[in-house]
């Protein structure tokens, strides 16, 4: 299992770096579109879509993304759409988690399919806009989730006593959440120092926030992003439990499915673009 995980991770990293190194933004846009289209297919399967319907969801994702690329919309700021995504994840996610696993299958399937597809498209659009801002900015955005996840894992193992959502994800604890948030704050401090020393291809998310809004607002924004990453993770866990599935699919050997790897990123990426769109102090 570990060998499979490592091999799959190395292949994915190689593909992503090749796409980022290619001239122009479109190789990266198309690779990530294919990845999230696979996520749309998984979402359909987890939510009762027959084979053809699940494939259709993936196809719609691809066609919508290609239309955005050809029409010059990919990489353009979507303004209020980022805040709409934040609202859906915050209010809708809270409602779904409060209702619990048993209530999820009673939500109309078509509504689940459409909401999932729309949120995947917005997450992809946010990723492409972040890439247009700069690679340093995009990577610092992704690392909010990755650091929160890593720090939460080790913090939960060491200090976890109080369960976060035992009926949805028994392994998660409040101590893990706090550890993840602390890890992200430390990461931000280190990254800001590196920005000042090396410059890279532009400021990171953290440097942009500090410059525009100051340290306190930056810390609060990062804590909010960590909380959204937890919501994304829990929502996917809830959906899998409702479907009786351990993984979203077996597309990524050793890792499960695409949604298993990007669930926490889906609400965070639009939220980052929403936050940086705020006027400076």
Tens of pLDDT along 47-95? 999 889 999 999 999 999 888 877 766 556 777 889 999 999 999 999 9
- Residue range 163-214, pLDDT digits in tens: 999 999 999 999 999 999 999 999 999 999 999 998 788 999 999 999 999 9
Q: What pLDDT is attached to residue 2? A: 57
Q: Which residues contact 246 (CB under 8 A, 6 or more apart)?
A: 240, 256
Task: Give the helix ranges, DSSP H, for 75-173.
Answer: 80-87, 93-99, 109-133, 135-159
The residues spanned by each domain of the chain are 2-276
Of 177, 196, 183, 179, residue with least CA distance to 143: 183
- Its sign, for the CA torsion 183, 155, 89, 243, is positive
Question: What are 18-39's pLDDT values in tens digits?
Answer: 888 888 778 899 999 999 999 9
Identify whether the C-beta of residue 262 lies closer than 8 Å to the C-beta of residue 220.
no
Token code pair at residue 27: 């190789």
Which pTM does this prediction carry?
0.93
């Amino acid at each position: 299992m570990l060998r499979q995980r490592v091999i799959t991770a190395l292949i994915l990293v190689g593909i992503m770096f090749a796409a980022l190194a290619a001239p122009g933004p479109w190789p990266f846009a198309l690779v990530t579109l294919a990845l999230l289209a696979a996520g749309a297919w998984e979402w359909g399967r987890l939510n009762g879509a027959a084979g053809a319907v699940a494939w259709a969801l993936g196809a719609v994702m691809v066609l919508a993304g290609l239309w955005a690329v050809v029409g010059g919309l990919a990489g353009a700021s979507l303004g209020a759409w980022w805040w709409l995504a934040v609202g859906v994840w915050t209010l809708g996610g809270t409602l779904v988690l409060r209702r619990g696993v048993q209530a999820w299958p009673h939500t109309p399937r078509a509504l689940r399919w459409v909401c999932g597809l729309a949120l995947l498209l917005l997450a992809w659009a946010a990723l492409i806009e972040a890439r247009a801002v700069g690679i340093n900015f995009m990577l610092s955005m992704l690392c909010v989730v990755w650091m929160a996840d890593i720090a939460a894992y080790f913090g939960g193992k060491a200090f976890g006593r109080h369960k976060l959502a035992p009926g949805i994800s028994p392994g998660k604890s409040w101590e893990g959440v706090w550890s993840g948030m602390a890890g992200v704050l430390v990461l931000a401090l280190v990254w800001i120092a590196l920005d000042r020393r090396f410059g890279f291809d532009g400021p990171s998310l953290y440097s942009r926030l500090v410059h525009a809004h100051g340290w306190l607002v930056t810390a609060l924004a990062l804590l909010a992003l960590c909380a959204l990453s937890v919501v994304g993770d829990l929502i996917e866990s809830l959906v899998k439990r409702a479907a009786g599935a351990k993984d979203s699919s077996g597309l990524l050997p050793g890792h499960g499915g695409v949604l298993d790897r990007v669930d926490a990123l889906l609400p965070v990426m639009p939220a980052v673009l929403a936050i940086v769109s705020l006027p400076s102090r």
